[in-house]
A and B are shown apart, each in its own frame.
Chain A
Amino acid sequence: MEVFVAQLINGLSLGSVYVLLVTGFNLLLLVALVIHFSYPQVVVLSMYAAWMTLRAASDHPGLAVLAALFASVLLSLATAPLFQKITQRKGRVDVNITMVVSLGIGMIIGDLLSRVVNNGFPVAFPPPLTGSGPVIHVGLVSVSWGQIAALVGGVVIVGSVFLILYTTRQGRAFRAIAEDPVGALLAGIPVASAGLRSHALAGVVGGVTAVILAALMGFASPGLGEQVAHKVLAVSIIAGLGHLGGGLVVGLCLGVLEALVQGYVSGTWSNAVAFVLMLVVVLLRPRGLFGSKV
């Protein structure tokens, strides 16, 4: 029972990270009409920005958080014109081309991280960000500061995104574009600038996720973005592309399922769980469990 509870806590915190990532991914898909496959690579780059700041600023956690946020928003905004040019040319979501451009961005980020920072070796985050030990420890069950940050951060950030989407004028514009981009344009909504704002918002979500991921895992590596990218895709596909609520449910469930497999099955089979599930869903329900929004 203790193993189950411990893995449940691990799974919920991992699931919260998936939920955060898939929320940013879906936001870009719905409003900016971009399938940003390399969004998790942007998050990992922001983790590295936080690590470098910690080293330069004597392990000051506040500055590291700011650095991660700044890097994520800056990179999201810097890459936005690339996607906007494609979308404007085609006038619709071009799955293949936006995905290939995003893969190109991912190739550049991954290779830069594996050559420039720390000679390509994984970087470890110090206790000011990860906490010096478990906050709660009962038998096999221990809860770390990173897990608390993931659970609380997940609720606060996803809650804030939903609040923006459903209670603000900007959120209404976002939802209108997600529903019908051409109709939104005819109704006078500035689709291009709303897309840019969605990149900025996804950047903020990405920056916070980077800090949470750093606190939760305690390390970052150049290959981490690639691994996480496929999990995010898995969550998004299983839920239904662009379905924000579905992403929330599936992200949490997948995190828990993976953690349980990790707890009870030897080897690295937990990685396959998400992909086998995704394969079954794609083959049997191509529009996902909750239905695709695009």
Chain B
Amino acid sequence: MPLPLYYYLAVTAVNVLMTWALYLPYRVAHLHFLPVANMAISAYVAAHLVMQQAFPWGLALAVGFALGFALGLLVSLFVGDAPTFSVVIVGFTFLFITRTVIENIAAFGGPLGLFDLPYIGSSPAAHRHLLLAVLYGLVILVGFLLWRFDHSGLGRAASATFADRGLATSLGVDTGRLGAMLQTASCTVAGGCGVLYGFIYRSLHPDFFGFQLVGLFLTILFVGGYATPWGPVVAAPVLYGIPLLFPAAIAQWRVVVYGVALILVLLSKPDGLVTRDAVRSLEARLRHGGKT
């Protein structure tokens, strides 16, 4: 498999998973950036375990997921039902504390980062195939769980909370518990994603997990559509792929393009390109064999 195609497929899968990690708490109107901090923490810890402590990669991946779960659960106990702005701030705060801590830990390479992470397969080709298999297996698993969630009572409770938190509480929805559950699930996914992300590039740097990465995930979420998991599935390959088709001179402006796309979509089509109504109508068509 050509390297550019491998990177495109691998990074697209990470982008879909991470945007879903942001999508989950946003179902109850929480714009939560803790998953990006979780990504960094799990990536660095897993890399350290594999490189310095000779842990098997699979075990390091499991540790990544577990770290994401633990931190997500711990923080969600405080902000599971917090006002939106507090959740935003807690996420950003963790992102910057994480960065400062990583930059000051010598075992994590300090401000220089970690390089030459080992291959997880017997050869570079096996490494790439194994990573892609794990990534897309995870995309299918998380996608299925999201689909089940959206079609369950919990999904409807989340929609009610998004529309009107007070009304949802009156209807008997435990908004705090629901928020905590979604935040924890989101951080768990992000923990695993961080480990995979580190081993895709085989290097880690504090700059990898900054403002630009948050911006990319936000763009995918809001341009694709935040009301259905299909939005990120459509937007991630397109937004990441289109700049790669242009000459390098134009492709280097992709962050500006993301910023402009984000603002234009929010102003003209606030629900994003793939709306819940569009998905429902498509599902109905498929159910009736193409007849509406």
Q: Which residues of A are in contact with B by a Cβ distance under 8 Å? A: 35, 82, 85-86, 89, 95-97, 99-101, 103-108, 110-112, 115, 226, 230, 233-234, 237, 241, 267-269, 271-272, 275-276, 278-279, 282-283, 286
Contacts and interface: CB of A to CB of B under 8 A. Distances in A.
9 contacts: A100-B222, A105-B263, A107-B211, A108-B256, A230-B92, A233-B89, A271-B100, A275-B97, A279-B90
Nearest to A102: B263
Given A104-B262, A107-B262, A275 B100 contact: yes
Given A108-B260, A268-B103, A286-B82, 15 more contacts: A82-B267, A95-B85, A100-B262, A103-B215, A103-B218, A104-B266, A105-B259, A107-B259, A112-B256, A226-B211, A234-B93, A272-B101, A275-B93, A275-B96, A286-B83
B113 interface: no
Contacts of A241: 85
A237 B89 contact: yes
A107 B215 contact: yes
Contacts of B84: 95-96
Given A115-B252, A115-B253, A97 B89 contact: no
Contacts of A286: 82-83, 86
Given A100-B266, A104-B262, A107-B256, A226 B210 contact: yes
Contacts of A282: 79, 82, 86, 89-90, 93
Interface of B: 26, 29, 31, 78-79, 82-86, 88-90, 92-94, 96-97, 100-101, 103-104, 210-212, 214-215, 218-219, 222, 252-253, 255-256, 258-260, 262-263, 266-267, 270
A85 B29 CA distance: 20
Contacts of B218: 100, 103
B267 A283 contact: no
Q: Chain A's interface: helix, strand, loop or mixed, by majority?
A: helix
B77 to A, nearest CB: 10
Contacts of A99: 31, 88
A89 B266 CA distance: 12
Contacts of B256: 107-108, 111-112
Contacts of A105: 259, 263
Contacts of A96: 26, 29, 31, 84, 88
A279 B97 contact: yes
Contacts of B255: 107-108, 110-111
B270 A110 contact: no
Contacts of B89: 233, 237, 278, 282
Nearest to A35: B85
Given A110-B211, A278-B89, A97 B266 contact: yes
